[in-house]
A and B are shown apart, each in its own frame.
Chain A
Amino acid sequence: MRPTEAFGHADGPPVGVELEPTPPPEVPKSPRKIGWARRRMSARRIWRTYRKNTLGMVGLVILALFIAVAVFAPLLADKEGLEATCPCNGVPFSPPSWDFPLGTDNFGRSVLTLTIWGSRISLTIGLLATAISMLIGSVIGIVAGYYGRWPETVLMRLTDWFLVIPFLPLAIVLASILGRSMVVIIFVIGVTSWPSTARIIRAQVLSVKTRPYVERSRALGSSHWHLNTRHILPNVAPLIFANTVLTVAIAILSESTLAFLGLGDPLQISWGTILESAFAAGAASAGQWWWLIPPGLAIVFVVLSFTLCGFALDEILNPKLRRR
């Protein structure tokens, strides 16, 4: 069981999120324009429903805040402050003061600077690992669901096997064999976190492929490629999107855990590696709370915001939850 599944329908029935009806659109000129107009309309409709979800909006605001910090990191803190030898560093292990609002680490670096710049690495790893996981999960889910028969048997067996292998021990073995680098961490999290996605996507494809418009398109002689990219994928995409947001939360947590166990990239500072060096330097027994609390809280808030957004989207986009 992965946490996303455990949280499946957190609110329980009756959820009943109804999408609002939309006003009739003006008639566009070409088929392409019709398509885009329809996409814009449904995006607007989803946004209007999403806005009413308080927790979802709270998550979105926190998330926007963290993304802003990551993007504008150079404006908020000097990158020089990440160097152990920077003259801007203060006295090692000093508690919060006016010059160092969150205190300093063992090299005298500002913990605030570390946490601000750490957001870039943590978010990047989380997003890229999720992209890999989604790609594998979606392809396997769609192929298994669409083609059925032996490809389905083989792929689902494989998925079940990967579901059973405990995630962290597998990630540890992979990461320690492949070495300590950011690319390895992204790859390891990506290739170990796809199975639950594959299962969710497959279930949705199974339901989509029996719908009349798919049957009609097939009767008109559409190729597998056309059916998949024009009819199946667009109808599974919302679910993939909701799942992506939830997976980012897991990926960021996984990164922090792997980094904490000493498998992170030694040259990149992420929230996980800050915690690792703090713990290894004995910050916990020395009571240097200012070094341990900021990166941890950052992880908690980012994961929480992704989870809240994911639940809100899931409630709107997941047909299983909407039905009730």
Chain B
Amino acid sequence: MGTRRYIVGKVLQAALTLAFVMVFNFFLFRIIPGDPAALLLRGTSAFNPENVAEVRAELGLDEPLPQQFLTYITDMATLNFGESFYLRGAPVSEVIADRIWPTVLLLGTSAIASAAIGLIIGIHAGWRHGSRFDVGSLSFTLFVYAMPEFWFGILVLMAFAGGVGPFPAIFPTGGYETPGADLTGWAHVADVLNHMFLPFMVLTVSYLGEYALIMRNSLIDVMNDDFVQTARAKGIREKQVLWGHVVPNALLPTITLTLLSLGFIFGGAITIEYVFSWPGLGLLTVQAIDTKDFALLQGLFLLFSAAVIFANLIADIGYSYLDPRVRAA
């Protein structure tokens, strides 16, 4: 009973947030100083009044604002994000669909790997906080946090793909697969994995510290709870206290925070895909910046936002199943 109301409430909230992002996106492009049509043509040879007027008409910018908004909403509902300006007028939704798989593959695997490794490090660090392992993992987290991911990526690229000094150049310098090799079956899979290894490693290392820290703090909070004392008083082994009583309770807030950090990971993905020329949405974003392809940029922005909102919704709903107290509140 309460569950259904809770879920409906959360879904409505997510829908409202998505609506806000869309309205925000609409105005972002329209209340900016200057003429968007002129902005599109600025710096190109086609920059003259007639062309500007033509582009205005094409983009529907000469219509009244409410009419524009209506068109915009209809377009959004039918997943029509306009045409990519520089990719020869290809529809934005198709361009994005073409590039989504490499990003899902890279981000998905590295997010899972960094969460898994991070949680294990966090559990060990928190269980013996103050130990050398704990201090070591904290310092590592602090250092990695201070490092721009792209710089870390460049260093790794230089060392293991460029081969500087004593480092062997054992990995390809970038891309998704060996161009022109036309591999199939397992050979193709191995080729892609070989290309994926470096960006995967950089992303995983960049984010596992954060997960470790969240898990560690959550574990330390739980360790002071009464039920842990009770478990110990019953005389069960320490290992069982940790894995049977402390970890399951400490995992709850960590799972939420892990899903919530997705928006954060997108940021890293954009720069890392660029560094390793991984042909996903991140590299597409950088190409859109370079070519001033606003329609494409906005489509990507909406997609990234929608993904984060969706992840938040999943986190909220999942949490309510893991911890029934949330639904009651």
Which residues from chain A sit less than 8 Å from chain B, CB to CB? 1-3, 6-10, 12-13, 160-161, 164-170, 172-174, 176-178, 249, 253, 256-257, 260-263, 275, 279, 284-287, 289, 292-293, 296, 299-301, 303-304, 307-308
Alpha-carbon separation in the docked complex, A115 to B267 (Å): 25
Asked if A287 and B289 sit within 8 Å, CB to CB, the answer is no
Q: How far is the CA of A12 from the CA of B127 in the complex (A)?
A: 12
B59 at the interface (CB under 8 A from A): no
Answer whether A177 and B29 are a contact pair too, CB < 8 Å, given A287-B162, A289-B158.
yes
CB of B302, distance to nearest CB on chain A (Å)? 9
Residues in B with CB closer than 8 Å to A261 are: 270-271, 274, 285-286, 289
Cα distance A170–B266 in the bound complex, in angstroms? 11
Q: A12-B216, A172-B301 are in contact. List 19 more A-B contacts (CB 8 A).
A: A1-B214, A6-B210, A13-B221, A165-B305, A173-B297, A173-B298, A176-B297, A177-B39, A260-B150, A261-B286, A262-B289, A279-B275, A287-B158, A287-B164, A292-B155, A296-B154, A300-B147, A303-B145, A304-B146
Residues of B within 8 A of A303 (CB): 145-147
How far apart sit A287 and B164, CA to CA, in the bound complex (Å)?
6
Within 8 A of A (CB), among B216-270: 216-217, 220-221, 224, 257, 260-261, 263-264, 266-267, 270
The closest CB in chain B to the CB of A165 belongs to B305
Q: Which residues of B contact A257 (CB under 8 A)?
A: 148, 150, 267, 271
Asked if B138 is at the interface of the complex by the 8 Å CB criterion, the answer is: yes
B105 contacts the other chain (Cβ, under 8 Å)? Answer: no
| Cross-interface CB contact of B145 among A166, A275, A307, cutoff 8 Å | A307
Do most interface residues of chain B lie in helix, strand or loop, or is the interface mixed? helix
The answer to whether A13 and B220 have CB atoms under 8 Å apart is yes
Structural contact, B305 and A6, CB atoms closer than 8 A: no
Residues of B near A8 (CB, < 8 A) are: 217
In the assembly, what is the distance between CA of A3 and CA of B142, in Å?
A: 10
Which A residues lie within 8 Å of B155 (CB)?
A: 292-293, 296
The verdict on A1 contacting B164 (CB below 8 Å), with A166-B267, A169-B301, A257-B267 known, is: no
**B210/A3 in contact, CB under 8 A:** yes
Closest to A285 in B: B162
- Quick check: B224 and A13 within 8 Å, CB to CB? yes
Top 7 closest A-B pairs, CB basis?
A168-B267, A166-B263, A303-B146, A296-B151, A304-B146, A12-B220, A169-B304
Cβ of B111 under 8 Å from chain A: no
Q: Decide: A173 and B301 in contact? CB cutoff 8 A.
A: yes
B266 near A178: Cβ-Cβ < 8 Å:
no
Shortest CB-to-CB span from A307 to chain B, Å, is 6
Chain A residues near B150 (CB-CB < 8 A)? 257, 260, 275
Q: Is the Cβ of A284 less than 8 Å from the Cβ of B224?
A: no
A10 contacts B301, C-beta separation under 8 Å? no
B residues with CB within 8 A of A: 17, 20-21, 24, 28-29, 32-33, 39, 126, 129, 138, 142-143, 145-148, 150-151, 154-155, 157-158, 161-164, 173, 210, 213-214, 216-217, 220-221, 224, 257, 260-261, 263-264, 266-267, 270-271, 274-275, 285-286, 289-290, 292, 294, 297-298, 300-301, 304-305, 308-309, 312
The docked-state distance in angstroms from the alpha carbon of A8 to that of B138 is 13
> Could you tell me the distance between the alpha carbons of A307 and B173 in the complex, rounded to whole angstroms?
33
Residue in A256, A261, A308 with the greatest tally of chain B CB atoms within 10 Å: A261
Q: Smallest distance from the beta carbon of B129 to chain A beta carbons, Å?
A: 6
Instruction: State the CA gap A170–B33 with chains docked (Å).
Output: 18
Within 8 Å CB of A164, what residues of B?
A: 17, 21, 263, 305, 308-309, 312
Q: How far is the CA of A287 from the CA of B157 in the complex (A)?
A: 10
A10–B260 alpha-carbon span in the complex (Å): 19
- 23 example contacts (A-B, Cβ-Cβ < 8 A) are as follows A7-B145, A13-B220, A161-B21, A164-B21, A164-B308, A166-B264, A169-B301, A169-B305, A172-B285, A172-B289, A172-B297, A176-B297, A260-B271, A261-B285, A275-B150, A275-B151, A275-B154, A287-B162, A299-B146, A304-B146, A307-B145, A307-B146, A308-B142
Query: Among the interface residues B270, B290, B300, which one has the most CB atoms of the partner chain A within 10 A?
Result: B270
